[in-house]
Structure 1
Amino acid sequence: MHTFCDRAPCSDFVFTYVRKDIAAGRGRRAVDPVIIVGAGPVGLTLALALARQEVPSVVLDESPGKDESRAARTVVLREDTAALAERLSGVPLGEEGLRWAGWRSVRRRQVLREVSFDEGEPGPLHIAQHVLTGALRAALAREPLAKVAVDSRLDSVEQERSGVTAHTRGPNGTWWRGSYLVGCDGPRSTVRKLLDIRFPGRTAVERHAVAALRAELPWPDRALLHRMPPWRMSGPSAGEVTARPLPDGVWRLDWLLPPGKDLVTPELLVARVRETLAGWTGGPTPPYELLDTGVHTVHHRLARRWRVGRVFLAGDAAHLLGTLGTQGLDEGLRDADNLAWKLASAWHHGPYEALLDSYQTERRAVVAARLRAADQALPILRGGGGLRVYVPGTARGHDALLGDGHLGQGALGAPGAYTDSPLAPRHLDAEVPVGTTPGAQVTDVQVTAEDGSFVRLRDRLGRDALLVVLIAPGTGVWDRKHWVTAGVMPRLAAAVTALPGPAELLVAESYPGAPAHTVLLVRPDGHLVTALGGVRPADLYAAAEAAWGGPAKTEAEAGAGSGTR
């Protein structure tokens, strides 16, 4: 299977893969790979997620393939995005980065909030971006279903009913043929510009002076947000500094800058480092090693459209956010996770427009809600005018808002739920409430797979299959041969086999808020479709059909090149 088209010159890259059993009714509908433009964390994650679902891809990387090592360029990943990156890279990123042991919020000299994390509630993962990208690149290099084409800068995209053709220039310039194309090429996205998609929003919402340094601070492995520190700051300052720990005694410090374009000189940054460290340690400036500096500017923008035919946008090409401690990469990785299983379904079984359209509907709504929450909170927390929102407790209320962004909680930081998704089933008689709202991410619990092995629920995600989880207390201490043919299992297994798309049956001892014999239906990206009270084959079928985008179409209805699921 080639990525090239009938033009010349063309790429001679050939994919090899194991074909699925066409006799099982799941023959491949597409032959061309998915073209991914951009080799940042989002593009690499998408390529790995597609490979996990046996979909080939080619990543067009305009760089030489080596990422610049910048100690001051780091990312904070929440529990779900860190688990996604670890699952796809095969690397325990907690050993490459550092999970915070705790969080402290201070105003002047008063501690307003202190949080400690343990194994039951892992803290955010702080990691250098080049380390994360390197782990993803290494995993992709081992993946036979993917290729990274370096020194390949996109300059044109053409699409028709059967696929997409892209042209790259550079030393390896050529034509590429793909089934779909995804622009993961950052804020200045060429893909977005070629499609003439508007990217409205606000410029320079926040600016931060940044320094990465090695030093001993009084609170090892714990992040700190210090508002209105009691010492005098050199140069312009908005009175807020954040310290985030990294491995080997390295810290990233961010000083919020006031609005404007005041120049941050190296001398000014060094003076600020010395004053801040001396203020925190209560004496003269302690020894430190300055590793890297910079200025980080945050913009808020949201693309009008995330899909045009067979072309999609993801990550910074589709949205920019990051004020008040929030992390834009979190949302970019969630874009990739959401899109991957939908593209995989279309690639394997033929395109179904409702499923592909749901990517924009779900993800754009979640990011738009986060941007609205940040825009509402900014005037309060930064002392500006505009919209007034009542926050009880003043300083503590403000700290709670800021903490939400930094800790990945609340409207500013928590993973979004697809509560109004077009893929949500309607009017299920057997639906019951559990600890997870339909559309939200499921809780990671231990489950038993069909072969009797014990695994984590998150380990079974991203496999081009829905997960059907039966809550059955006691099964964890029984041998599989005793419970697999007992009680409701035979009936449930038959119902799962009859579903309109691929599904995997799992069993869990317990799940938050779920009584015995509850059946959970979970999407490949870990969002709950529904919870049913008992084995209800008709409701389970209806929910699965909705999750795949609705009733499957016949060959005649779908048109040439598509087919039934």
Structure 2
Amino acid sequence: MLDVLVVGAGPTGLVHALWLHSQGVKVRIIDRTGAPGTTSRAMAVQARTLELYRQLGLTDEVVSAGFRTPAMNIWARGKHRARIAVQDIGRGISPYPFILVYPQDFHEKTLVAKLRSLGIEVERNTELLSLEDKGEHVASRVRRADGTEETIHARYLAACDGASSTVRKQLGIGFEGGTYRHVFYVADVELSGLDNAGEAHIALNGEDFVVVLPYSSDGKARFIGTVRDERAEHAENLTFDDVGHEAMASVGIHVDKVNWFSHYRVHHRVADRFRQGRVFLMGDAGHVHSPAGGQGMNTGILDAINLAWKLAAVIHGQAPDALLDTYATERQAFARELVKTTDRIFSLVTADGGFANLMRSYGVPLIAGVIYTIGSARETLFKMVSQTGLAYKDSPLSEGRAGDVEGGDRLPWVNVDGQDNFEPLPVIGWQVHVYGTATPGVRAWCLRNGVTLRQFSWADEHGKAGLKENAVYLLRPDTWVALADPEGSADTLDAYFTSRS
């Protein structure tokens, strides 16, 4: 029998299928569309995503194909208010301290090609009609473009089928939240007339604004803005000529060509539950929010990775079913917090009225400039946007503290004389890190249980990163810290797994 049926071949579904296959799980992936998307849509690939892509051998390809944003410029009423250098904003935090722009259409093609190289084809023009959880497996009825139908039997179903998820609706799972009243537009354009066109720009002009995100060195960029007047009431007929051009004109932008234009209303919603029996919701099927910070696609990818290693463990008989409940516990809590955070930012950016205009014109540039000059604030901002600060401290899988590192934290990245503690394992799995010397008991425990032991010669850089000498750090297959033991004891390792079956 098939292990997992993945419904939806956007980045979330594709990454989920890749991670499952890499762990020996039998997987099929279907999508009702005839081909990958051909428009840019999501743009940013965050540092935490790039760190995890190393385990699939994808990072170098994505980084080399993407566009590193050197700086963010803030304009207000035609005047340049701030320039924030971001090319190394996360230096010392991640091996990928930059903001990478890699349009989703290119991104999806890369993931599809990786799957194909492993012998897995996305089954296109294949629509999910219905599903039934039969207790021991899920039976899914699908229809292909030629009208033929098939019932696919799989032990689990992963719903990655977007905000209008068929799976979520058929299961009757609530999707509480709301919709912002503003109509937004996105456009992929070729532009001229803008100084430093290879850098990102936010142009604020009263109630009109435009975000400019370049994704090549030859003038191609993504525009994001709002439609605020009576034209928003008839958004179905909008074209690029209908949107506000005041902010663009205020900074000298001339649009030479529009390659793609779309408009939408932004929702903020989180599903009532991320798991129902043998079915799991991921990505936009489980949570949608404003585009502030470029979090959406990356959050879906981290959903996919979080669930994939847990499914593999249960399918291979290495863990009880209860492990799968921690997917919902960890990812739903993060989704709810993310929606709150992006909602606050979004509300500030889109608020109406004189005071809001004043804040956008003068307050936002001032605050942004101050944050950039304060190291701790800049570090906090990078960790939040890049998702390198994401932790699962309240998870039942998280335990202990050693130094400044707690169970549930992302392991601090440290590179000492070229020795990178994020170097991926040949096979995705658990690992133990010791910065200093592991005891004979720990070495024997790792050998006996088939867990990779990695020892790093103690250096001052480890202490500065918050690690404790000779402590044991047990890492989950997705490289978050499961257990931090300051005593470096094999008994503690044994007790961790025994208590969780």
The TM tier, using the shorter chain, reads: 0.7 to 0.9
Q: Quick one: percent identity of the two aligned structures?
A: 26
Shift of 1:152: 1.6
2:482 to 503, 507, 529: 529
> Which structure features the higher share of strand residues?
2
SS for the counterpart of 1:459 is coil
For the pair shown, the structure with the greater C-alpha radius of gyration is: 1
Question: Equivalent residue for 2:250?
Answer: 279
Shift of 1:327: 2.4
Question: Equivalent residue for 1:551?
Answer: 500
For the Cα contact (< 8 Å) 1:206–1:323, is it kept in 2?
no
For the Cα contact (< 8 Å) 1:99–1:122, is it kept in 2?
no
CA distance in 1, matches of 2:364, 2:244: 28
For the Cα contact (< 8 Å) 2:87–2:99, is it kept in 1?
no
Q: Does 1:268 align with 2:227?
A: no
Question: Equivalent residue for 1:192?
Answer: 168
CA distance in 2, matches of 1:98, 1:132: 12
Instruction: Please list the CA deviations of residues 234-260 of structure 1 after superposition, one character each: whole Å capped at 9, or x if unmatched.
Output: xxxx32211111024211111233385
Shift of 1:421: 0.6
Letter aligned with residue 225 of structure 2: W
Letter aligned with residue 441 of structure 1: R
CA distance in 1, matches of 2:241, 2:180: 21
Shift of 1:456: 5.3
Question: Equivalent residue for 2:152?
Answer: 176
SS for the counterpart of 1:247 is coil
CA shift in 2, pair 1:375/1:203, >3 Å: same
CA shift in 2, pair 1:49/1:447, >3 Å: farther
Letter aligned with residue 134 of structure 1: K
1:316 to 276, 284, 287: 284
CA distance in 1, matches of 2:14, 2:251: 39
- Normalising to structure 2: TM-score of the pair? 0.83
CA distance in 1, matches of 2:432, 2:495: 13
**Root mean square deviation, CA, Å:** 3.4
Instruction: Please list the CA deviations of residues 37-70 of structure 1 after superposition, one character each: whole Å capped at 9, or x if unmatched.
Output: 1111100100001111111200022223x22422
Q: Does 1:130 align with 2:105?
A: yes
Shift of 1:279: 3.1
CA distance in 2, matches of 1:346, 1:312: 14
Question: Equivalent residue for 1:514?
Answer: 467
Q: Does 1:469 align with 2:433?
A: yes
Shift of 1:179: 1.3
Q: Does 1:40 align with 2:10?
A: yes
Please identify, of 165-174 and 84-93, the stretch whose mean Cα deviation from structure 2 is larger: 84-93
Shift of 1:85: 4.1
CA shift in 2, pair 1:225/1:468, >3 Å: same
Letter aligned with residue 470 of structure 1: V
For the Cα contact (< 8 Å) 1:444–1:458, is it kept in 2?
no
Shift of 1:496: 1.9
Instruction: Please list the CA deviations of residues 389-411 of structure 1 after superposition, one character each: whole Å capped at 9, or x if unmatched.
Output: xx9x9445765899999x97466
CA distance in 2, matches of 1:495, 1:535: 12
CA distance in 2, matches of 1:190, 1:286: 41
CA shift in 2, pair 1:226/1:536, >3 Å: same
For the Cα contact (< 8 Å) 1:105–1:224, is it kept in 2?
yes
Shift of 1:153: 0.9
Shift of 1:377: 4.2
Letter aligned with residue 459 of structure 1: P
For the Cα contact (< 8 Å) 1:461–1:525, is it kept in 2?
no
CA distance in 2, matches of 1:95, 1:49: 22
Question: Equivalent residue for 1:155?
Answer: 129
For the Cα contact (< 8 Å) 1:81–1:330, is it kept in 2?
yes
CA distance in 2, matches of 1:420, 1:205: 35
For the Cα contact (< 8 Å) 1:104–1:224, is it kept in 2?
yes
For the Cα contact (< 8 Å) 1:315–1:329, is it kept in 2?
yes
Letter aligned with residue 107 of structure 1: A
Shift of 1:113: 5.3
Shift of 1:498: 4.5
For the Cα contact (< 8 Å) 1:447–1:506, is it kept in 2?
no
Letter aligned with residue 49 of structure 1: W
CA shift in 2, pair 1:394/1:277, >3 Å: closer
Please identify, of 523-532 and 407-416, the stretch whose mean Cα deviation from structure 2 is larger: 407-416
Shift of 1:116: 3.1
The higher-RCO structure (CA 8 Å, 6+ apart) is 2
For the Cα contact (< 8 Å) 1:203–1:298, is it kept in 2?
yes
Shift of 1:433: 2.3
CA shift in 2, pair 1:276/1:228, >3 Å: closer
CA shift in 2, pair 1:516/1:401, >3 Å: same
Aligned ranges 1:104-123 → 2 under 5 Å: 104-108=73-77, 109-112=79-82, 114-118=84-88, 120=91, 122-123=97-98
For the Cα contact (< 8 Å) 1:341–1:462, is it kept in 2?
no
Shift of 1:293: 1.8
For the Cα contact (< 8 Å) 1:381–1:398, is it kept in 2?
no
For the Cα contact (< 8 Å) 1:89–1:136, is it kept in 2?
no
Q: Does 1:341 align with 2:309?
A: yes
CA shift in 2, pair 1:215/1:458, >3 Å: farther
CA distance in 2, matches of 1:246, 1:329: 17
Shift of 1:261: 3.0
CA distance in 2, matches of 1:159, 1:401: 54
Q: Does 1:422 align with 2:399?
A: no
CA distance in 2, matches of 1:286, 1:150: 39
For the Cα contact (< 8 Å) 2:198–2:217, is it kept in 1?
no
Aligned ranges 1:5-24 → 2 under 5 Å: none
CA distance in 2, matches of 1:408, 1:308: 35
Question: Equivalent residue for 1:540?
Answer: 493
1:141 to 116, 121, 128: 116
SS for the counterpart of 1:420 is coil
Shift of 1:175: 1.2
For the Cα contact (< 8 Å) 2:8–2:30, is it kept in 1?
yes
CA shift in 2, pair 1:351/1:153, >3 Å: farther
Please identify, of 288-297 and 249-258, the stretch whose mean Cα deviation from structure 2 is larger: 288-297
Instruction: Please list the CA deviations of residues 402-431 of structure 1 after superposition, one character each: whole Å capped at 9, or x if unmatched.
Output: 9999x9746677453111112123xx5xx4
SS for the counterpart of 2:424 is helix
Aligned ranges 1:374-453 → 2 under 5 Å: 374-383=342-351, 394-395=363-364, 399=368, 409=382, 414=387, 415-425=389-399, 428=400, 431-434=401-404, 436-446=405-415
State the aligned residue count.
470
For the Cα contact (< 8 Å) 1:45–1:88, is it kept in 2?
no
Shift of 1:489: 5.3
CA distance in 2, matches of 1:101, 1:339: 34
Letter aligned with residue 320 of structure 1: V
Instruction: Please list the CA deviations of residues 488-537 of structure 1 after superposition, one character each: whole Å capped at 9, or x if unmatched.
Output: 454321122355xx522112345312243232221111212233224211
CA distance in 2, matches of 1:150, 1:221: 36
For the Cα contact (< 8 Å) 2:290–2:343, is it kept in 1?
no
SS for the counterpart of 2:410 is coil
For the Cα contact (< 8 Å) 1:75–1:327, is it kept in 2?
no
Question: Equivalent residue for 1:92?
Answer: 61
Shift of 1:302: 0.7
CA distance in 1, matches of 2:349, 2:248: 25
